[in-house]
Structure 1
Amino acid sequence: MSPQAVSDARQLAAEMSGGDSSVVTGPLKGYHHETYVLRLLDGTQIVKVREPRSEILWFDRRCFESEEKLLRALQGELTRIPEVLDVAGMGFQGFIEGRTLPARRWAGGRVPDAVLDQIVELFRQMARIGPSRLEDVPRRCRLEDRAADGDTDGFLERLIVFIEEQVYLKNFAQFGALFEELGVRPDSFTHLRKHVAGLKQRPFCLLHADLHRKNFVVDSQGELWTIDWELAMLGDPLYDLATHLYLMRYPKDQRHRMTEDWRRVVERINPDGAYGLETDLDSLLDFKRAQSVFTDVIRVSLSLSEGTGFNWLALPLAARRLQRILSAAAQPLGLTGVPSQPEIMTALVRRQRSLLSAADS
């Protein structure tokens, strides 16, 4: 979509507002969608009007055909999730008014105990929702691409295949040389598979799969709402905990409390739901560290080229971030060494110069 083009989401929001731009806010910040918030003409409801951004790269495997259809199926099953409102024959997500959990609002990345308790309650509610409860919700993936209930190794293998094929190989022409300079090669996936193999079997349940601070909204009453269910899937419950811990960056004591509280509520729903936590949680966290390499190398590189030119001022910070990510994933990816920050800066600049040379030729 060109910068001058009027998106379908913007046009629809304008039509629904009756031409009153004062009731439309947006576009909101967000990676996957161009989103507008619209207060309906009766003044009682606020909805989100959005469409997927055509120019973005998808780094995560999507399971359900429609987030709105999933949310409809989950009404009454989960508390404090967006409602789907029917307006003019179409379904729109209700907008949750409140504040997301900022990364540094509380010292050391801590969250209030009341918030922590509500996140645990969310995990408890999701643990009750097995594959049979959502079998009527349309899926994106083919039946043969879905792991059998309890096949945690098969579930993780499909996530690895997605990263390998849809992130690494799909973008190899643009980023292959950069990955090579950073020490990440095709055999890194062989190392990763060996490193995470042998997970214990656990019954599948609903996973949000993206429970980070910006996907939690605290309203004026202190109630916690969970938004952005687009990456939700059915799979290994421990994977959802690992993803949450990796993204939240809790201080040590809150990480321990979340893990133990998660175990307690999940085992109460299904005694086998937390089976193998002592060994498998570390393996799944290592997978998340490895996954981050493939997504963040591309994202960081692209971020330096946003706008009118190369962002030289952001280069040192970008190199420092990538070195930290590579160091964390060195063992699961079998990296023989992690390049220094100057070496990473050189690799990022070399990619930019190769793009300029290709454009001039």
Structure 2
Amino acid sequence: MDAFELYERAATRRTALAGFYNRNVKVETEAGPVLVRIRSAESEPMDLTCWSEDELLAAIDAYVPAAPRLLHAARNPDFQIHEYVPGRRVDELAPDGKPLPDAVLKAVEGFFGTLLRVPATALPPTPAGWPQDGDTPGFAGLLLELVRAIRHRGDSAVSDLYEALGVPDDPCHVLMARAHRLARRPFRLLHADIHRKNMIVAESGHVAFLDWELALWGDPVYDLADHLHKMSCTPGDRRTLTDAWQRSAPDECCEGWRDDLDFYLGYEAMKSAVVDTVRWGRRIAGTDDADERRRLCLELAAKLTAARPHWKADAPTVTAPGEIEAAVGRCLPRT
């Protein structure tokens, strides 16, 4: 396998599989298909990161059989080659809001159990300044400081949109006060991006978990909260997944977990509103389709409504779709 030849073939393809930080391209080889992941230089960092994905995949190869195998990694150009996992994405089998297949629910439970038992000694070193094992308030502080940075790094048009929609200057103020009261739990490996598009169900029933670029070393309760937030589950599946995590977690990971799960769910709602004010605002500004604009405005309104209980705003949060569309029109240039 000539890795750079595969990269060149993938780089010229106009079509790619879903991915925010990477273009994912299926490329055929004599030995079968592989997945070429090309890092996107245009993606703004919107998530906390701990390791390079290839470094982590190499480290967990013997511990997490549900992760894809890393076949090659390069830095210049920045790309990876993974084994191609045939099957159907979970969002194709069960879209958001629909009940998950029993096989997926069982696979997620097993996956949580696997992650929670990967030894720290198997993982790469954490970055300088990363909180010490068990410092859950420090871990939560990293998450919150990321959102603060996102809130203030945009240009004047983005700042104007935040102000017009009532997103507070410091959306993390309320949650930061709560973060200091989090129970201390030992850190574990977190996938931190387990959602329907990152799970592949093979014909055998085996479920593979993709996209490890956001994996973290941190509070295990956060992985559950992130998963529940991104899955758009039915109430029944939500209870099933929450109970599954509790069954999977060692006792030492469960100290105060129910109260702290609410904290992290509030964080996810708040972060989603801050990040998606920019993402959805640009999408609204970039379409001439009135129905599409309306749909996007309704979605952003739901995100802002969900975030409102978790921040202290000086001005009312704007959640009327018509007002959101008007604010985007005033603040963001058409693209």
Common fold: TM-score over 0.5? yes
Q: Of residues 81, 105, 125 in structure 1, which corresponds to 2:114?
A: 125
Taking structure 2 as the reference length, the TM-score comes to 0.89
The whole-number CA distance in structure 1 between the counterparts of 2:311 and 2:97 is: 29
Counterpart residue number, 1:254: 237
The alignment's TM-score, normalised by the length of structure 1, stands at: 0.83
Counterpart CA distance in 2 for 1:160 and 1:87 is 31
Q: Which of 71, 76, 79 pairs up with 2:62?
A: 76
Q: Which amino acid aligns with 1:296?
A: D
Q: Residues 144-293 of structure 1 correspond to what in structure 2 (within 5 A)?
A: 144=129, 146-165=130-149, 167-267=150-250, 271-293=251-273
Decide whether the 8 Å contact of 1:28 with 1:36 is kept in 2. yes
Give the residue type in structure 2 aligned to 1:292. Answer: S
List gaps (5 residues or longer) in structure 2. none
**Does residue 334 of structure 1 match 2:321?**
no
| Mapped contact 2:171–2:311 kept (Cα < 8 A) | yes
- Contact 2:69/2:82 (CA < 8 Å) preserved in 1? yes
Counterpart Cα distance in 2 of 1:56 and 1:16:
22
Preserved CA contact (<8 Å) 2:96 2:232: no
Structure number with bigger Rg: 1
Whether contact under 8 Å (1:60, 1:231) holds in the other structure is: yes
Cα deviation per residue 1:194-214 (whole Å; 9 max; x = unaligned)?
Answer: 244411011001000000000
SS at match of 1:230: coil
Per the alignment, residue 18 of structure 2 pairs with 29
**Structure 1 residue 36 displacement after superposition:** 1.9
Ranked by relative contact order (alpha carbons within 8 Å, sequence separation 6 or more), the top structure is 2
Aligned to 1:7: none
- Residue-by-residue CA offset, 1:25-79 (whole Å, 9 max, x unaligned): 9432322112322222xx2232222322122212101110x21221111112012
Contact 1:45 1:94 in 2 (8 A): no
Taking the aligned partners of 1:11 and 1:133, their CA distance within structure 2 comes to: 29
Please give the alpha-carbon distance, in whole angstroms, between the structure 1 residues aligned to 2:47 and 2:83.
24
SS of the residue 2:204 aligns to: coil
- The equivalent of 2:6 in structure 1 is 13
Closer, same or farther: CA 194–75 of 1 in aligned 2, 3 Å: same
C-alpha displacement at 1:226, in angstroms? 0.3
| Structure 1 residues 135-150: aligned runs within 5 Å | 137=124, 141=127, 143-144=128-129, 146-150=130-134
Q: In the alignment, is residue 59 of structure 1 matched against residue 46 of structure 2?
A: yes
Does 1:298 pair with 2:278?
Answer: yes
- Gap runs ≥5 in structure 1: 1-9
- Percentage of pairs with the same residue: 29
Equivalents in 1 of 2:107, 2:292: separation in Å? Answer: 37
SS at match of 1:45: coil
